[in-house]
Structure 1
Amino acid sequence: MTELLRTLFVATPGTSLHLDGDTVRIYHPERPGRNVLPLVRIDQLVVWRGVDISNDLLLRCTADNRGVTWLSRNGRFLGRTGGNQIGNPRLRLEQARAHDDAGRRLAIARAFVAGKLQNYRQLLLRIARDAEPERQAEIRSLATLHAESLSAVAGCTSLTDLLGIEGAAARAYFQGMPLLAPEIPPGRTRRPPEDAFNCVLSFGYGMLRVAVVGALEQVGLDPYIGYLHGVRSGKPALALDLMEELRPLLVDRFVLTLFNRKEVLDKHTTRDPAGGVALTDEGRTLVLERWSQARERTWRHAELKRSVPAGLLPNVQARLFARHLRGDQPAYTPWIAH
């Protein structure tokens, strides 16, 4: 169990959560004692498969507009419940109008991709500073490729071309992963991940997705009407859009640090008969503890002209996007690390 920034994470199988007055009572048969947490301290719950929630607690969370998210043992999003939708319906109407306007949709999608590519580049340059000369040159060459992709994004005139630029840059980035952490294999694998690095990376993206969906709902936006990612039933397209600019520094850097420090050991992952790799209970505990610490780190935010904890960046960007849709600022400005 981990509590951070008003989110309760519960990952241990066999745990059950119950309503006890105005508190959550957390029970596990192998951990005797009364473990309770005041509901007033919690905005959302994130639970993994194998954790049970009582009906009384679910109903109370729904009544309080407190989100509950379920994840697979490897951190893949399974589902979410919440209360009444928050926010002005006029904002959601404007969100849909922007999606239906080809020019506005492309401009918004370009901003999300530009933020992602710039933060890819920032991460690469940060790592290159401490690398030995030969590896440093290769990493900087990869960063230059992303700078060129950024120029192509600025002149892009169709969503199809934009997705092509983004996809090519992402493939080059993941092929270059061994330059950033020597024991990491090149390429990206998922559903299932085929190695420990991709396993932890998918887990981190799952954590970020939970945070971004919650932030969008708090602002009153519809997580399912996006601009870069296509609108499809069950797919939170806007959440996936907003995640793009946040992935490189909030998740990729976090996971690379774990592997460069050799904190993820053989005992933290397990391989199933089909070849997929999943975190063990001990592995999930480790990653969640480190994730909680990473969310407290502050990052400079140019738009706000101050530092913001990583855990609050999704909320800040969701509010800035809502301001753009309302017409309070002419364009959406992605978060770029400085």
Structure 2
Amino acid sequence: MKKTLYIFNNGILKRKDNSLYFETEEKRKYIPVEDTSDIYIFGEVDVSKKFLEFVSQKEICLHYFNHYGYYVGAFYPREHLNSGHVIVKQAEHYIDGEKRMALAKLIVSGSVGQMMQVLKYYRNRSENKEEIYKIMNDISNIAAELQKVDFHQIDELMAREGHAREKYYEAFDYIINDPYFIFEKRTRRPPLNAINALISFGNSICYTTVLSEIYKTYLDPRIGFLHTSNFRRFSLNLDVAEIFKPIMVDRLIFTLINRKMLTKKHFVKEMNGILLNEDGRKLFITELDKRLKSTVNHRHLGKSVSYRRLIRLELYKLQKHILGEKQYEPYQSLW
């Protein structure tokens, strides 16, 4: 499988003949083009038109983050996998209210199912079993109400999913065993504490990871089903990320904190809030990349696949659904 390159230093990305390299004031490092799927840029990095032409030709996505770790945008090469039939069917499932709601409900049920699985895992290992059990019961009640939402009430569906996620976040303080990492409530731009900083940063990486995987399919990232398509952003990656954030991002956060790998020294006060510093971002990215490469047994395929591959398989299932080949069933972690 191709690899992801993360660049934190300042420098220049250049093309030389049929190869790429990253050059800083101290050294030059060549990039294995054929083995690179996407590049995440966190430093101040200059690129040229010749470089962009070459990465487009090699089907490499670039994802840009600013000084504070916020996602800025992507260089998304011209799609190399094109199918007018798939795009028409995808648009049809967005325009048709009943078809869109059917998919949106499946995505939300998948998301809620993953949250419940995370809570179940940590409930069995926590001293706060009763508190976590009560939260799980509240989420189950909200999930039961989701199916009653009418097909033209996408906003209502998202609101109820939001309520389930708020309940889910209440369990964080029962799972995390560190007084510095108190959740309190969800805050964004800027995050007001370390836990929110981790969630925001981790989610942004998850969104871009899914976006890169969409590029390798016939699906159009601009047409989602749960999140409304508009003129400003991709939306399908936001949909699919809902299913993977709990197991990719949240479980990693719990692991890094409870194992004392992330501490107060990895955060800094910036922009009237709390953000990960560069060392914190590097550590989080390193561990998340390991998780994406790690494998789990896929019960339907009968073999082990990486978490990154699971995302691609989820997209293939969506594609089969909109083509009428097979009903979509969201991925459900077993542990």
Counterpart of 2:3 in structure 1 is 6
Q: Does 1:296 align with 2:293?
A: yes
Letter in 2 for 1:89: G
Aligned counterparts, 1:264-303, within 5 A: 264-272=262-270, 274-303=271-300
Mean CA deviation greater in 61-70 or 119-128: 61-70
Letter in 2 for 1:206: S
| Alignment partner of 1:215 out of 204, 213, 216 | 213
Q: Distance in 2 between matches of 1:177 and 1:270?
A: 21
Task: Give the alignment's TM-score, normalised by structure 2.
Answer: 0.92
**CA-CA distance at 1:303 after TM superposition:** 4.1
Describe the SS at the equivalent of 2:99.
helix
Letter in 2 for 1:144: N
Q: Distance in 1 between matches of 2:130 and 2:301?
A: 34
**CA-CA distance at 1:269 after TM superposition:** 1.6
Describe the SS at the equivalent of 2:216.
helix
Counterpart of 2:31 in structure 1 is 37
8 Å contact from structure 1 (residues 73, 279) kept in 2? no
Change (3 A) 1:206 1:138: same
Counterpart of 2:44 in structure 1 is 50
8 Å contact from structure 1 (residues 11, 51) kept in 2? no
**CA-CA distance at 1:262 after TM superposition:** 1.9
| Alignment partner of 1:189 out of 187, 190, 193 | 187
**CA-CA distance at 1:279 after TM superposition:** 2.1
Q: Distance in 2 between matches of 1:184 and 1:257?
A: 15
8 Å contact from structure 1 (residues 113, 166) kept in 2? yes
Aligned counterparts, 1:167-316, within 5 A: 167-182=162-177, 183-272=181-270, 274-316=271-313
8 Å contact from structure 2 (residues 110, 331) kept in 1? yes
**CA-CA distance at 1:49 after TM superposition:** 4.7
**CA-CA distance at 1:164 after TM superposition:** 2.6
The runs of 5 or more residues in structure 1 that have no matched partner are none
Q: Distance in 1 between matches of 2:43 and 2:193?
A: 21
Task: Give the alignment's TM-score, normalised by structure 1.
Answer: 0.91
Counterpart of 1:24 in structure 2 is 20
**CA-CA distance at 1:165 after TM superposition:** 1.7
8 Å contact from structure 2 (residues 293, 307) kept in 1? yes
Q: Does 1:326 align with 2:323?
A: yes
Q: Distance in 2 between matches of 1:56 and 1:160?
A: 44
Q: Does 1:73 align with 2:67?
A: yes
The runs of 5 or more residues in structure 2 that have no matched partner are none
Cα displacement string for residues 134-178 of structure 1 (whole angstroms, at most 9, x for unaligned residues)? x11111111222222222223332424322320111111123321
Q: Distance in 2 between matches of 1:22 and 1:203?
A: 34
Q: Distance in 2 between matches of 1:257 and 1:5?
A: 26
Letter in 2 for 1:7: T
Describe the SS at the equivalent of 1:219.
coil
Q: Does 1:142 align with 2:135?
A: yes
8 Å contact from structure 2 (residues 227, 238) kept in 1? yes
Q: Distance in 1 between matches of 2:323 and 2:69?
A: 34
Q: Distance in 2 between matches of 1:102 and 1:303?
A: 31
**CA-CA distance at 1:334 after TM superposition:** 0.8
Letter in 1 for 2:95: D
8 Å contact from structure 2 (residues 183, 196) kept in 1? no
Q: Distance in 1 between matches of 2:210 and 2:142?
A: 26
Change (3 A) 1:138 1:5: farther
Q: Distance in 2 between matches of 1:218 and 1:325?
A: 17
Q: Which runs of 4+ in 1 moved over 4 A?
A: none
Counterpart of 1:98 in structure 2 is 93
Q: Distance in 2 between matches of 1:261 and 1:275?
A: 28
Cα displacement string for residues 221-276 of structure 1 (whole angstroms, at most 9, x for unaligned residues)? 1111111111221221111111111111111111121111122223322112x422
Counterpart of 1:60 in structure 2 is 54
Describe the SS at the equivalent of 1:43.
strand
8 Å contact from structure 1 (residues 46, 69) kept in 2? yes
Describe the SS at the equivalent of 1:69.
strand
Letter in 2 for 1:43: S
Q: Distance in 2 between matches of 1:211 and 1:63?
A: 20
Letter in 2 for 1:265: T
Cα displacement string for residues 152-209 of structure 1 (whole angstroms, at most 9, x for unaligned residues)? 2233324243223201111111233211214322211111111122112211111111
8 Å contact from structure 2 (residues 7, 43) kept in 1? no
Letter in 2 for 1:76: Y
Describe the SS at the equivalent of 1:224.
coil
Q: Distance in 1 between matches of 2:225 and 2:14?
A: 39
Letter in 2 for 1:154: Q
